Structure 1
Amino acid sequence: MARIRVRIAPLAALSAALLLTAGCADGSGTSSEPTAAAPAGAGERKVKPVVVVTTAWEGAFAKAAGAENVKVIVPQSVHHAPDYDPKPSDLAAVAQADFVLYAPFEPYAAKIKETAGSRAKLVEVNLDNDADKVGAEVARLGALFGTESAAAQWKSGFDGEYARLSGELKAAWPGGTSPNAVSQVFTVWAAKLAGATTVGSFGPEPVTPAQLAELSAKKPSLVLDNAHMSTGTVLPDTGARQVEIVNYPGPDLDLLPVYRNAAAELKKAMGGS
């Protein structure tokens, strides 16, 4: 996916507006009083933490881990996050947060927290929809939030749904044989879901002529592109079916439809119904 860099310059000017809004909720369901972090070994929180996330992807991880008060800063309507200027309400939400979740390619998260004067804990999230990595991150966040049982319950449901989707895709293999796939670096998880044999990868930079020749020579039947940073047809004139994989969840911050939608597109590409 594309690197996310939000301009920081406007934040200084917005910090003054924060003084007028920090004492109020911003309409997202966040509390005006931050919730203290649960001490080690204290078990489940009685009050769920207030979590601010930079994008919906982190939001889905937080929700899966049991967070209920989740505020997303960058709207889904913003296709290029660097074009987004945080609003006073964003800064107010950060000031009220217990946790601020961000990805390592989003360096502006720390500056947002600093500008807003928040005492929230900054948490770096490994954004990868690989099933094993998702399970590990959800468990880690659940431990941080004090919502371990909710995270474990989500993981149980996720494992069952993932196994079902993977089984259906393997049953749809053309001729009963695992298809060869070339994947963008952030869509390898979808090839794994389908049980496809990954014979090469590309990105996040555009494919060079040398890469094009190398990947085409592997004769893949599937090309799994990243819908969030597609540069068009990756391997033209090879006969490979290109599938656009979406990594981000919808407004409900539910991660499971990401897998269901990917499975549906992969099944169509493999010739299934």
Structure 2
Amino acid sequence: MARARVLVRPLVALSAGLLLVSGCGGSGTSPKDASKDASGKSSSGPVVIATTSWEAALAKAAGAENVRSLVPASIRHAPDYDLKPSDLAAVAGADYVLYASFEPFAGRIKEAAGSKAKMIELELDNTPEKTTANVTRLGKTFGTRQAAAKWNAGLAGEWKTLAGQVKAAWPDGKAPAVSSQVFTTWAAELAGARVVGTYGPEAVSPKQLSELSAKKPEFVLDNENMSTGTVLPGSGAEQLNIVNYPGKDLDLLGVYRKAADQMKKAFAAS
């Protein structure tokens, strides 16, 4: 009987350990075993964990196939997301972890990664120059340079096409005057607009409100992901809420297309 008790204890401990691992992983599988792309298809290559859909989209653009975003794309302001134990477990099983310095949970991400995962800090900005640089850098890191170069070429062509479409919708054929949140100036660049003032990331102060309104912008390009409401009330400027983060499809080109479509419609109707 004593011998039987000795055998039972290791079995119980092993079962408990398996249950614990299962609970931390969420599905009972490791990131490598459950690797799927945004469409749900099986994928291969290094496991890339990104804090948000923005970093994940850059990894996908660079040619990575096994990419997962921790913050759901439906979260409007990603830095407010509260990491779950399963998120930290996924980070521990990753080959690469992508994050941005402004994200308040970056410290916890680093701790969870341990010594295995390679941490890559990205400077997030949707200007074509910064996006191209990020994609090129990640392509070199992942060993997918050719895929990254192909995507960057596609971005250059798409940007040129979209810029031409927005320009064709300029009111009276003239570049519109806009005020832009500091993280959406890329949209103003895409539109070929005249930026008469910028604001943020803090809320607009009464003094800024007066100064920006005095410059008589026709449009305000606000940051949907950091919006505090109407930026220039009473100024007569039409506010467009520009999105920086891709959706769950991790299509970064979709961000540019959406912004171009918003501006085309607004310009043509003014």
TM-score computed with the length of structure 2 as normaliser: 0.83
CA distance in 1, matches of 2:243, 2:230: 16
Offset from partner CA, 1:77-125 (integer Å, 9 cap, x none): 3345465443343223212211100001124234234235351111011
Distance 1:85 1:229, change over 3 A: closer
Question: Structure 2: any 5+ residue segments left out of the alignment?
Answer: 1-16, 35-43
Q: Deviation per CA, 1:181-231, whole angstroms, max 9, x where unpaired?
A: 100011100000000011110011111111011111111111000111212
Write the distance in 2 (CA, Å) between the matches of 1:212 and 1:55: 32
**Secondary structure in structure 2 of the residue aligned to 1:270:** helix
- Are residues 28 and 166 of structure 1, via their aligned partners in 2, closer, same or farther at CA, if it must alter by over 3 Å? farther
The structure 2 residue matched to 1:175, chosen from 169, 172, 175, is: 172
Q: Which amino acid aligns with 1:117?
A: G
C-alpha distance in structure 2 between counterparts of 1:261 and 1:26, whole Å: 34
Q: Which residue, out of 192, 195, 198, partners 1:201?
A: 198
Return the alpha-carbon distance in structure 2 between the equivalents of residues 102 and 243 of structure 1. Answer: 28
CA contact (8 A) 2:73 2:246 kept: no
- 1:139 CA drift (Å): 0.5
Q: Residue 228 of structure 1 aligns to a residue in which SS?
A: helix
Q: Does 1:268 align with 2:260?
A: no
Q: Which residue of 2 aligns with 1:164?
A: 161
AA in 2 matched with 1:95: A
Residue 116 of structure 2 corresponds to which residue in structure 1? 119
Alignment partner of 2:138 out of 141, 144, 159: 141
Q: Secondary structure at the match of 1:258?
A: helix
Distance in 2 (CA, whole Å) between partners of 1:70 and 1:97 is 10
> Hey, which bits of structure 1, 4+ residues long, moved more than 4 A?
16-19, 21-29, 80-83
- What secondary structure, in the 3-state scheme, does the structure 2 residue paired with 1:271 have? helix
State the identity as a percent. Answer: 60
| Equivalent pair of 1:178/1:195 in contact (CA under 8 Å) | yes
Distance 1:238 1:270 in 2: 17
Instruction: Give the TM-score of the pair, scaled to structure 1.
Output: 0.82
**Aligned position for 2:73:** 76
* Aligned counterpart, 1:240: 237
**Structure 1 residues 197, 80: closer, same or farther in 2, change over 3 A?**
closer
- Structure 1 residue runs of 5 or longer lacking an equivalent are 1-15, 34-46
Matched, 1:224 2:225: no
Residue matched to 2:41 = none
Instruction: Give the distance between the partners of 2:216 and 2:204, measured in 1 at CA.
Output: 16
More displaced 10-residue stretch of structure 1: 114-123 or 196-205: 114-123
1:63 to 45, 53, 60: 60
C-alpha distance in 1 between matches for 2:51 and 2:60: 14
Q: Radius of gyration: which is bigger? A: 2
Q: Does 1:155 align with 2:152?
A: yes
| Structure 1 counterpart of 2:235, one-letter code | T
Equivalent-residue separation in structure 2 for 1:246 and 1:231 (angstroms): 14
Matched with 2:38 is: none
How far the C-alpha of 1:251 sits from its partner, in A, is 0.5
Q: Is the partner of 1:89 in helix, strand or coil?
A: helix
Greater relative contact order (Cα < 8 A, sep 6+):
1
Q: CA RMSD in A?
A: 2.7
Q: For the Cα contact (< 8 Å) 1:169–1:263, is it kept in 2? A: yes
